[in-house]
Structure formats: structure tokens, C-alpha cells
Amino acid sequence: MASVKFASGENIPLEMHKVRIVQKLFLPPVEARLKAVTEAGNNTFLLRNRDVFMDMLTDSGVNAMSDQQLAAMMVADDAYAGSATYERLEAKLQEIFGLKYVLPAHQGRACENILAQVLVTPGTIVPMNYHFTTTKAHIVLNGGSVEELITEEGLAVTSDQPFKGDMDIAKLEALIAAHGADKIAFVRMEAGTNLIGGQPISLDNLTEIRRVCDQNGLILVLDASLLADNLYFIKVRDPNCRDLSIAEITRRIADLCDIIYFSARKLGCARGGGICIRDEALYRRMRGLVPLYEGFLTYGGMSIREIEALTVGLDETMDEDMISQGPLFIAYMVDELVKRGVPVITPAGGLGCHIDVLRFLDHVPQAQYPAGALASALYIASGVRGMERGSLSEQRNPDGSEVYSNMELLRLAMPRRVFTLSQVKYAVDRIDWLYKNRSLVGGLVFVEEPEILRFFYGRLAPVGDWQEKLVAKFRADFGDSL
Ligand code: F0G
């Protein structure tokens, strides 16, 4: 997005693209929304998309694609082995990251499976700025454990710290001193730190981590799934990078890493994933797992058309106009909510707008999953589907007790270039209404709780009849409006 000033003085993110393919949406009436969310066990993952007006569940695999990406899909070279399409992807990744070896995978967690199987052994530790659900699951499955070393500021809900995803270097050094470098499987940094609100990491922090890794002979792995947002934030928030191009910033980051992996459902606005590796020996150790779990080395479980789209998408990620759209729309939404007093994570990050549910629903105990309850309430109030990112997304301790997460968040993802500003205004309006009526919202209890990754398909019921009361209040306030 270019910086275009409005005569009115209003701060409006102006799209540097036009919409040429559209999908019709439906907004069911509030009574039908209550019925749909009840049938879905109050779990927004289980809603049918046709009952959803704005799908803000995730940005994963649902970003808008460009005309150039769609055109490239038509010239894909379909072959089990040796496809020219794959060669184009490999060359593009080598060009932007400068790492010699590339392995394809069907999505981000598939990369994590391969990395964990090769690098994690029982009893080892993976220090990271913050965990992601699938990352942690794979590390634990291989007998390792995760240590989150985010700076204290990273967990402060409201802040003006520009790089809340940074790792606390002193904590990293203390961890290595306490356990010994041989107990560290690798050090992982996540760009655009997902679970703390899409918060970026800084180039300076990564440089420091590289220094510590070099001193201790450790491998530095970057999860670049949310790199696009992070690149934009480095460009606009780090004064030392203001005059660098996005491609130059990307290269400075990559030069510090031994391994870069990503979900192409996010990075590159396509579907799939990949691992880029500097060291040949490491590459050889990982390579054998690709045909076993993914597919042959020149498609890795991805459709060849998606690989073409990804190659173009990665190239377009080097364009500031393209990668700024998400962060600027999110900043608009966050600013509008802050103006109305709604508690949200600040500063605005990438990925989406994150509501601070511990403050929004301060009367609902964590044992009753307030972020899940708010996700259900917001769907009833608006047809907007968000994602619970709080205690419900955690895994119980082996003794069955709950793990209460540091933050209870309702994530409203902003898939890139998908929504219009009036749709974002609608979401803000309904969240504002819900905030004013927050005392009506109650908690949830599990009626069906899976053992692993329970948030994906667990079913819950409301505590009491708060949902019917919410619907009645909606009708009283909005009349016959949808
Ligand atoms: N790493 C990060 C930082 C992610 O955000 C994700 C996925 C993955 C790895 C796994 O990638 O889905 O392609 O297997 N995040 C999605 C989300 C699911 O909704 O935030 P995947």
C-alpha cells in the first residue's frame, strides 16, 4: 500500500490492487447463527463455512491470489519427477534466501515433522521465542521439550514495543549454561510470532541469537510462515532498515539462519511448504524423510499448480505494496477498537486483530474458556468466525489438570487482500456492541474433549442460558437487521 494522504486527514489504508474475482457471501439471521454454533459444539472450527459471513478463523490457505499466480498455474509442468515447475520454485527460494538446499513439503507442520525427527532426540530442549501448537506437538512427540524465552515485554498485552516477538538473550544464555549446549536440539525463532498476536522479531535480536548460536555450536532455525508481515514491520519500525528493499531485508535475515522453513499457506499466498537448508550434511539427513511422508523430492505433496503459484507468490512477497496490505488493515481495525475502549493487543501485529479476552470477559474464569466463549458469542452477534487462542488451545498436564495460557485471545485473522474496509467496519461495529453487552456472555464447558489438539474438534456447551439472552438483546437493539 502506497502512502496516500487523504484531504480529510483520515488515516485510511488504500488498496493497491483491484478485485477481479469475487465469492458471494451469506449472513444468516441471529437465530440461525445460534443454531449453527450450537450444532458446531461452540467450536468455530466445526462451523460450516456457508454459515459464516466473515471468515476470520485463519489466514492459512485463504489469502487472495493474484492474477499472475493464477496465470502461472496454467503453465505448470506436471511430472512426478524432475518437473520444471519445481526447478522454478527451488531457484526462487535460493534467490530470496540464499540457502543452497531446498526440500518441499505439503504444509508447515510437515516441515516440523521432518525437522523434529532429524534434530530432536529424547531429553533435548528447543529454546524458542514462543511456541506454535503444531511445532510443540512434533517436538514433544519426539521426546523433546520446548522452552519459551520471549522477552517480558512480549507478553504485555498493551505495549508500544515495536518487536514484541524478540527472544530474551540473557535467558537463552542462562538456559545453555544450565543444561549444556549438547542438550539443545536447535534454537527456533518464529517470525511474526503467532500466538502472542502476530508480533514481529527484530533483525538486531536475530543477530544476537546468531552470535550465541555460534559461540555454542547451535543450529538456528527460522519459522518463516509469517515472514511477510515481519518484513514489513522491520522496514517501517527499524530505522536502520528504512532504506533497504524488502529483498535486502529478507537476505539479511536469511544470512543469519541455518534452516528456514515455512507454511506456504501463509508465506507466498498459496498452499504447501518448504525447508531451506545451508548445510549439505543436514540436508542429506532430512532428505530421506520427504519421499516417506510427503512425496517425491520434486513435489513434496504439493500440487504442481500450487508450486507455480507459490513461486510467483514468493516473488510478489518482495513487493512492499503487497505485504503492507495485511498489517495496515489490521492496524486500522485495532485502532478503531482501541478508540471504542475494546481491549486488544497493541501494537497491532500481523496475521490478525487479537482481542484480549481476560479483560473483555473479566467475569468468566479461565476454567470456563473465556476466549472460546467470546468466539461463540461473536459468531452469534455477527456471523464473524474467529479462533480461540487461549487455554482451550493448550494441552492438559499428564495428571489431567488444565494448563492456563498466559494470554486468552480471540484471534480475528485478516486473510490478505480478502476483505473490504466496509466489512472490517462491520466487524468493528459488532465487536463494539458485544463489548457493551459483555456482561451477558458466560462461559463454556467441554462435553466432548479429544486428547490431542482438543481445540480442533472438541465440543462445548454454554454454562447457563446466556446465548438465548444474547440473541434476545440483539433483536431488541437491531430490530429485523441481519
Ligand atoms: N508455524 C506457524 C508460525 C504457523 O502459524 C503455522 C500454522 C504453522 C507453523 C503450521 O503450518 O498449517 O501449514 O501446517 N498456522 C495456522 C494458523 C494453522 O491458523 O495460524 P501449516
CB 248 within 8 A of CB 97: no
Q: How many CB atoms lie within 10 A of CB 292?
A: 9
- Least confident range of 24-28, 341-345, 363-367, 395-399: 395-399
Mutate to test the pocket of ligand 1, among 115, 265, 294 (most ligand atoms within 8 A of CB): 265
**pLDDT of 358 above 70:** yes
Indicate the helix (H) or strand (E) that contains 54: strand 54-55
Confidence of residue 398 (pLDDT cuts 50, 70, 90): confident
Task: Name which of 407, 24, 11, 29 is nearest 195 in CA terms.
Answer: 407
CA distance 220 to 229: 21
> Averaged over 328-340, what is the pLDDT?
98
- Would residue 80 show up in a list of annotated catalytic residues for this protein? yes
pLDDT at 128: 98
pLDDT digits over 49-105, tens only?
A: 999 999 999 999 999 999 999 999 999 999 999 999 999 999 999 999 999 999 999
Strands lying side by side in the sheet with 387-389: 352-356, 409-413, 387-389
CA distance 121 to 142: 6
Q: Is 109 in the pocket of ligand 1 (CB under 6 A)?
A: yes
Which residue has the least CA distance to atom 9 on ligand 1?
108
> Averaged over 355-379, what is the pLDDT?
98
pLDDT digits over 139-197, tens only?
A: 999 999 999 999 999 999 999 999 999 999 999 999 999 999 999 999 999 999 999 99
- Would residue 18 show up in a list of annotated catalytic residues for this protein? no
Sorted by where each begins, the domain ranges of the chain are 30-59+322-478, 67-318
Confidence of residue 453 (pLDDT cuts 50, 70, 90): confident
- Least confident range of 11-15, 177-181, 239-243, 259-263: 11-15
pTM, whole model, 2 decimals? 0.96
CA distance 190 to 223: 5
Indicate the helix (H) or strand (E) that contains 350: none
> Averaged over 28-42, what is the pLDDT?
98
pLDDT at 76: 92
pLDDT digits over 122-151, tens only?
A: 999 999 999 999 999 999 999 999 999 999
Task: Name which of 61, 357, 59, 336 is nearest 198 in CA terms.
Answer: 59
Q: Is 229 in the pocket of ligand 1 (CB under 6 A)?
A: no
**pLDDT of 3 above 90:** no
The catalytic residue among 5, 26, 78, 80 is 80
> Averaged over 382-400, what is the pLDDT?
94
CA distance 95 to 250: 10
**pLDDT of 452 above 90:** no
> Averaged over 200-221, what is the pLDDT?
98
Q: With helix as H, strand as E and coil as C, how does 391-410 read? A: HHHCCCCCCCCCCCCCCCEE
pLDDT at 406: 85
> Averaged over 236-254, what is the pLDDT?
98
For residue 271, which atom of ligand 1 is closest to its CA? 13
pLDDT at 251: 98
pLDDT at 465: 98
CA distance 173 to 299: 39
pLDDT at 471: 98
List the CATH code of the domain at 67-318.
3.40.640.10
**pLDDT of 383 above 70:** yes
Please name the amino acid found at residue 300.
G
Task: Name which of 207, 235, 430 is nearest 327 in CA terms.
Answer: 235
Residues above pLDDT 90, as percent of the chain: 96
CB 81 within 8 A of CB 234: no
Q: Give how far the C-alpha of residue 19 lies from the chain's centroid of Cα atoms, to the nearest Å.
A: 24
| 30-59+322-478: CATH superfamily | Aspartate Aminotransferase, domain 1 (3.90.1150.10)
Mean pLDDT of the chain: 97
The catalytic residue among 133, 237, 340, 432 is 133
CB 33 within 8 A of CB 27: no
**pLDDT of 1 above 80:** no
Q: Is the dihedral of CA 322, 323, 328, 330 positive or negative?
A: positive
CB 136 within 8 A of CB 112: no
Which residue has the least CA distance to atom 16 on ligand 1?
60
pLDDT at 395: 85
CA distance 412 to 146: 26
Confidence of residue 388 (pLDDT cuts 50, 70, 90): very high
Gap from CA of 472 to ligand 1 centroid (Å):
37
Size of the chain, expressed as the number of residues it contains: 482
Gap from CA of 157 to ligand 1 centroid (Å):
22
**pLDDT of 352 above 80:** yes
**pLDDT of 2 above 80:** no
Q: Which three cell numbers stand for residue 195?
A: 500466538
Domain 30-59+322-478 shares a fold with domain 67-318: no
